[in-house]
Amino acid sequence: MSGLALQNVVKEFGAFRAVNNVDLTVPHGTFVCMLGPSGCGKTTLLRMIAGLDLPTGGAIRLDGEDITRVPTHKRNLGMVFQSLALFPHLTVGENIAYPLRIRGVAKEEQKKRVDELLAMIHLSGYADRPVAKLSGGQRQRVAIARALSISPKLFLLDEPLSALDAKLREAMQVELRQLQQKLGITTIVVTHDQREAMTMADTVVVMSGGEIRQAASPIEIYRRPADSFVADFIGQTNLLEVQADSAGRAEVLGHVVPGLSLPAGSNKGTLSVRPEDVHLTAPGAGSLTGKVTFVRDLGGTIETFVDIAGHQIVAVSTPRARPDVSVGQEVGIALTPDVCVVLKK
Amino acid sequence: MRREPPQTLGDYLPLLFPAAMLTIFFVVPFGTMIAVSFFQRQQGGFYTPAFVFDNYARFLSVFFGGVLGFSLMLAVIVAICCVMLALPFTYMLTRMARKVQVVWLVALLSILSLSEVIIGFAWSTLFSRTAGITNILVALGIMEQAKALTPSFGAVLTGMVYQAFPYTVLVLFPALVRLDPTLTEAARTLGASPLKAFFTVVVPALRNTITATLIMVFIFALGSYLLPQLLGRPQHWTLSVLITDQAIYQSNMPFAAAMAVFLVLVTLGLVALTVIAGRKGEAA
């Protein structure tokens, strides 16, 4: 099989299990984002793919070949570190040429390749600059070009954009995604920024506690989260308890929601509804009724905080559909089954 | 923080004490030495104020030139050996657990507390025929017969490297600790074996530190005068030994002073050359 496969990968640091039985298949040319809170094992997993850490158990295969014990320098990969790790004693051109120099590529060929890569990252003519003289975004691009200079089989990035300011980061996300599509290279990015993952990835892998919670396309993760952790971690959501009433119908906060079904074989669940799917109605007209506690008008979006029997629900609307509500007012909330996801407890 | 240049006389006051100490304990004795180096020697250990170049002229002989050359060569070899040993050692030390680092550093600091005399006698025992390390080799069947390894050039070199090694590690340690460990990891992901990563990333990234350390050990080794006498033959004696000999045993202060001044000038010249060469390399 072409691509990367992780099979039952385990990493233990003493008694602590940083990565627990991870199984993942990354087809050739896919852009994968590993997403999760800090300490979830995503960086450890990336380091094992790179060969910088050895797994305690399991196997890592690249294009069918077992590379679990292959040393890092023989894996032919490109990696961008969080600190970028550009070599301070080398110029921009020398940094990019480093993997070629190590492999004994002829000088003229090195120069040709460096010029190609510099053009690709829009830094033509920067070859002789010292890396210390570059701006944050330029250094970022040089680190990417250096990792790509041997056209690696695998492109790994560890929180690559975290050092950049918000605006530049957004621009670089788009640039990185376009570059990856152009080159068709299998890419794995570790990030804790879900916006970044949604922007770039074909597949988002949500991790927590050393395990994969869900691996799917960004929109599927958003629309059909596997569990409440994923639902809460990706974007904003409202989580409510769902129970079966005596007749077996789904009941939310004491109100039956018609058309809503509970997970098979369970009489309890968690309902997730995205703020943009919460519709405010006149009191009594929706499924639930609550009191407005706060209105945050951000110009582009309006967030309305509604308290229903001690549970807070957030509704987001656009200025066009501005709800005519004020703090203290009673409102109804319409829950339609098509926008609600019931998750297993 | 903005630093204002000193404005009034009062602002210079804190400088007064160190300036005075420096003048009394360094500038005055050094000036005296320079002056004495031009004085006329009298038989019987005295000298009279004069301005003659006799002392310097006497120095420009094949014998003293040879000693000077040997001293410089010995110091250079000691510096290179120390850095070559200490750099990989310190690099590995910085990658160890904090506890292990502390144990090693304390052990190295304890070597610093040993006097040159103790180091000299310890090594002369270790290199001796009767009680030396060759006896272990004989016991292991590697050698036929125990033999004395001292006096010899190797013994002098070993003693001096042993003495300068802790300094070298202590000077390299902070720079290596500050070196970003992801630099080596990056080199490895880019296709360099750990050894290649060390030579293509760690060593070049620390070039200035390595140069500074070489100069420091070189100067340190140049002043050594006990170890060459304890572990070497007369042909292994350094200029410092001859200076001591002239000053104390021959009572020829002007000549000793002239040699000392000359040694200082040569040392400064070599250090300046190294620094300039380093700058040129940087620009290229």
Domain assignment of residue B17, yes or no: no
Range of the domain at B159: 36-283
Min distance A91 CA to chain B CA atoms (Å)? 11
Task: Look at residue B46 and give its three-state secondary structure.
Answer: strand
Are the CB atoms for A136 and A168 separated by under 8 Å? yes
Domain assignment of residue B15, yes or no: no
Nearest CA in chain B to A80: B186
Same-domain check for residues A224 and A268: no
Min distance B242 CA to chain A CA atoms (Å)? 43
Averaged pLDDT, B162-178: 92
The residue ranges of chain A whose pLDDT is under 50 are none
Q: C-alpha distances in angstroms, A266 versus A194, A228, A242?
A: 31, 16, 11
Q: What is the pLDDT of residue B49?
A: 81
Question: Residue B4: is its pLDDT beyond 80?
Answer: no
Domain assignment of residue B19, yes or no: no
Boundary residue ending a domain (A191, A207, A228): A228
The Cα–Cα gap between B215 and A115 comes to 40
Same-domain check for residues A246 and A200: no
Cis previous bond, A160, omega within 30 = no
Residues in A closer than 8 angstroms to B187, CB to CB, are 87, 98, 102
Q: What is the pLDDT of residue A23?
A: 93
The secondary structure element, H or E, covering residue B216 is helix B207-222
Domain assignment of residue B21, yes or no: no
Contact A77 B189 (CB under 8 A): yes
Residue B240: what residue type?
A: S
Q: Which of A254, A221, A245, A248 is nearest to A341 (CA)?
A: A221
> Where does residue B178 rank: exposed (0-12), middle (13-18), buried (19+ CB within 10 A)?
exposed
Interface of A with B in 78-117 (CB under 8 A): 78-79, 81-83, 85, 87-90, 98-99, 101-103
Question: Residue B1: is its pLDDT beyond 70?
Answer: no
Residues in A closer than 8 angstroms to B203, CB to CB, are none
* Beta bridge pairs of residue A331: A290
Contact A83 B205 (CB under 8 A): no
Contact A102 B200 (CB under 8 A): yes
Q: What is the pLDDT of residue B47?
A: 79
Q: Which of B9, B10, B61, B64 is nearest to B263 (CA)?
A: B64
Q: Look up the CATH number of the domain holding residue A88.
A: 3.40.50.300
* Counted domains in chain A: 2
Are the CB atoms for A97 and A48 separated by under 8 Å? no
Question: Residue B79: is its pLDDT beyond 90?
Answer: yes
The Cα–Cα gap between A323 and A278 comes to 11
Domain assignment of residue B217, yes or no: yes
Q: Which of B243, B259, B220, B211 is nearest to B74 (CA)?
A: B220
The Cα–Cα gap between B14 and B178 comes to 32
> Where does residue A110 rank: exposed (0-12), middle (13-18), buried (19+ CB within 10 A)?
buried
Are the CB atoms for B156 and B228 separated by under 8 Å? yes
Average pLDDT of chain A is 89
Q: What is the pLDDT of residue A244?
A: 83
Contact A150 B191 (CB under 8 A): yes
Q: Look up the CATH number of the domain holding residue A324.
A: 2.40.50.140
Are the CB atoms for A150 and A116 separated by under 8 Å? no
Same-domain check for residues A138 and A267: no
Residues in A closer than 8 angstroms to B181, CB to CB, are none
Report the percent of chain B where pLDDT is more than 70: 96
Contact A52 B185 (CB under 8 A): yes
The partner residue sitting opposite B190, judged by closest CB among A51, A71, A99, is A99
The partner residue sitting opposite B190, judged by closest CB among A51, A89, A146, is A146
The secondary structure element, H or E, covering residue A66 is strand A65-66
Same-domain check for residues A224 and A251: no
Question: Residue B206: is its pLDDT beyond 60?
Answer: yes
Min distance B95 CA to chain A CA atoms (Å)? 14
pTM listed for this prediction? 0.79
- Compute and round to an integer the Cα radius of gyration of chain A: 24
Quickly list DSSP for A42-106. Answer: HHHHHHHHHTSS--SEEEEEETTEE-TTS-GGGS-EEEE-TT----TTSBHHHHHHHHHHHTT--
Averaged pLDDT, B240-267: 87
The secondary structure element, H or E, covering residue A157 is strand A154-158
Q: What is the pLDDT of residue B167?
A: 92
Q: What is the pLDDT of residue B28?
A: 92
DSSP state at residue B191: T
> What ipTM did this prediction achieve?
0.81
Boundary residue ending a domain (A200, A228, A256): A228
The Cα–Cα gap between B112 and A130 comes to 40
* Counted domains in chain B: 1
Q: What is the pLDDT of residue B115?
A: 87
Confidence of residue B284 (pLDDT cuts 50, 70, 90): very low
Both tokens of residue B249?
Answer: 């045993």
> Tens of pLDDT along B93-119?
998 899 999 999 999 989 888 888 899
Min distance A51 CA to chain B CA atoms (Å)? 8
Range of the domain at A200: 3-228
Domain assignment of residue B7, yes or no: no
Same-domain check for residues A173 and A311: no
Are the CB atoms for B149 and B164 separated by under 8 Å? no
Domain assignment of residue B27, yes or no: no
Boundary residue ending a domain (A183, A210, A228): A228
The Cα–Cα gap between A126 and A120 comes to 12
Domain assignment of residue B122, yes or no: yes
- Compute and round to an integer the Cα radius of gyration of chain B: 23
Q: Look up the CATH number of the domain holding residue B197.
A: 1.10.3720.10
Same-domain check for residues A246 and A222: no
